[in-house]
Each structure stands twice: as C-alpha cells, then as structure tokens.
Amino acid sequence: MIPLSWYLIAAAALFCIGLFGVLSRKNAVSILMSVELMLNAVNINLLAFWHYHTQLQGAGQITPQVFVAMVFIVAAAEVAVGLALIISAYRRRETPVVDEMTLLKG
C-alpha cells in the first residue's frame, strides 16, 4: 500500500516542474505545456485525497472524480484558446518567444 504522502510528493514535484517550465521556457507553446503539467499535478492531488478518503470511510464517493473530469475539460478548452492566442500572436510578431512580447513595458 503506497502511503498518501508519496502521491503528494510526486504531485508537488510535478507541479514544481510545471512551474519551472512556466517561468523559464521562452517558447509560448512550452509554457502552455508546463501549465498542463501544473494542472495535472492538481488532479493527482485530488485523486490521491479521494482514494485516501474512500479507504477511511469505507464508502465510495463520485464527486472528486467528476471534479477531475471537469479539470480535464477546462484544461482542454484552455489549450484550445491558448493555442489560438499563441498562433494569433505569432502571426503578428512572427515569433513564439514571450520575452519579445513586451507591449506592456512601462
């Protein structure tokens, strides 16, 4: 039986990897992929807690699974919108590099 903390550690590691990717990658598509990693880390956390809770109660609950499914759906929608934005930005500025997109510079 794998203890709960392992899942949590794995999820935290995955989250940190995603966070690092978001902060360090230059390519917008890579940043979008890193965001997916962070979302999935959250999903792992949700499932781990659901499993742990089920074992303690002895009765199954459907709500967390629905929640995770919702996260997938939102993530998919987000990717669709995000990719569309990135393509639009790329067409205007001919680069996918976010450091060069500094229109808000003061």
Partner 1 sequence: MTSETLIWLIPLPPLLAFFLIVLFTNRNKALSHWLALIASGLSWLAGMIVFFKAVTTEGLSEHPFAQSIPWLPTGNTSLKIGIQIDPLSAVVLFFVAWTVLMIFIYSVGYHNFGQPAGKHDRKGLPPEGAEIKDKNGKIVHVPSIEPMYSRFFALISLFAFAMFLLVVTDNLLTLYVGWEIMGLCSYLLIGFWYAKESARKAMIKAFLTTRVGDVFMLLGLAALYSLTGTLNYQEILGNPAVLEQLAGALSPVLGLSWAALIGILIFIGTVGKSAQFPLHIWLPDAMEGPTPVSAMIHAATMVSAGVYLVIRFFPLLSAGWEPGGVVTTPMLVMGIIGAFTALFAATIAVAQNDVKRVLAYSTISQLGYMIAALGVGAYAAAAFHLVTHAFFKALLFLGSGSIIHGMEHGVLHTGEHIDPQNMLNMGGLRKKMPVTFWTFLIGGLALSGFPLVTAGFWSKDEILSGAFTGGNMGVFIALALAALLTAFYTARQITLTFLGQPRTKAAEHAHESKWTMTLPLVVLSVFAVGAGWSGIPADFPGLGGLIPNWFEEFVGSMLHFEPAEAVHSLVPLFTSLVVALGGLALGWVVYRRLSERVDPLEKPLGSIYTILKNKYYVDELYQATVIRPANWVANVFTYKFLDQTIIDGVLHAIARFGVWLGNGLRNIIDLPLVNGAGDTAAATTRGVGMFLRSKQSGRIQQYMVIAISLLVLAGLVIYFTVGIS
Nearer to partner 1, 62 or 103 (CB): 103
Q: Identify the DSSP state of 104.
A: T
C-beta closer to partner 1: residue 34 or 68: 34
Angstrom distance (rounded) from CA 81 to CA 72: 14
Shortest spacing between CB 31 and partner 1, in angstroms: 8
* Least distance between partner 1 and beta carbon 18 (Å): 12
How far is it, in rounded angstroms, from Cα 50 to Cα 64? 6
Q: Which one, 11 or 28, has the nearer CB to partner 1?
A: 28
The distance of closest approach from Cβ of residue 80 to partner 1 in the complex, given in angstroms and rounded to an integer, is 20
- The residues binding partner 1 (CB under 8 A) are 19, 22-24, 98-99, 101-106
Q: Are 3 and 48 in contact (CB under 8 A)?
A: no
CA dihedral 12, 96, 92, 32 (to 10 degrees): -20
**In angstroms, how far is the first alpha carbon of the chain from the final one?**
55
In the bound state with partner 1, the residue whose beta carbon lies nearer, of 24 and 55, is 24
Cα(31)–Cα(82) distance, rounded to whole angstroms?
10
**Closest approach of partner 1 to the CB of residue 89, in Å:** 12
